Amino acid sequence: MNLTRRMVSSLTQRGALQTALLRISNLTRQVELAGSVDVADSGAKRRKGLLGRETLAAGEGLWIVPCEAVHTFGMRFPIDLVYLDRDKRVKKIRHSVPPWRLSACLSAHSVLELASGSIRRTQTKPGDRLTFSLALPPDDRPGTADASDTTQSRQGRREGR
């Protein structure tokens, strides 16, 4: 069993994937594809996908596993698609797939749905190797401050504390 499958299996058994997000990097190009990727690993989550969302921000995405084909029926925005084999090697890419389309790659094991422009920004190509890791919560990412702490410290300075 490969590392990602063990990670997903372990998290699923503990129920952690319901809230856990993944960070996906392109090892070949040494660039982050997305830092906040949800996992659709159950029938219900795969069926819902990104439906009901108004938009998908840069750095966000959905990893649908297992999956060979997706549709954008009922969606309100275009998405980039990255089809992966079991070893997280890119099999096929599709740029800015608009709503009301079908896309498939019968040799794929999973699909990444990403914000439109992610593939071009990272120059991801078929054959590239991706890596998956747990994403740090926004508060724990280097170079970010917790908004409530910042607000409290500003209030304290104004009040002379």
Segment 133-154, tens digit of pLDDT: 998 766 555 554 444 343 343 3
At residue 155, the 3 state secondary structure works out as helix
d(CA 140, CA 138): 6
pLDDT on residue 106: 97
d(CA 95, CA 108): 17
pLDDT grade, residue 35 (50/70/90)? very high
**Token pair listed for 100:** 């009301």
Spell out a b/e string for 24-62, using b for 16 or more CB atoms within 10 Å of the CB, else e: bbbeeeeeebbbbbbbbbeeeebeebbeeeeebeebbbb
Domain residues for 151? 3-158
d(CA 116, CA 56): 8
Output the DSSP codes for 82-146. Answer: EEE-TTSBEEEEEEEEPSS-EEE-TT-SEEEEEETTHHHHHT--TT-BEEEEEPPPGGGSTT---
Total domains in the fold of the chain:
1
What CATH number corresponds to the domain at position 128? Answer: 2.60.120.1140
Segment 73-101, tens digit of pLDDT: 999 999 999 999 999 999 999 999 999 99
- Tokens 């099999």 appear where? 91
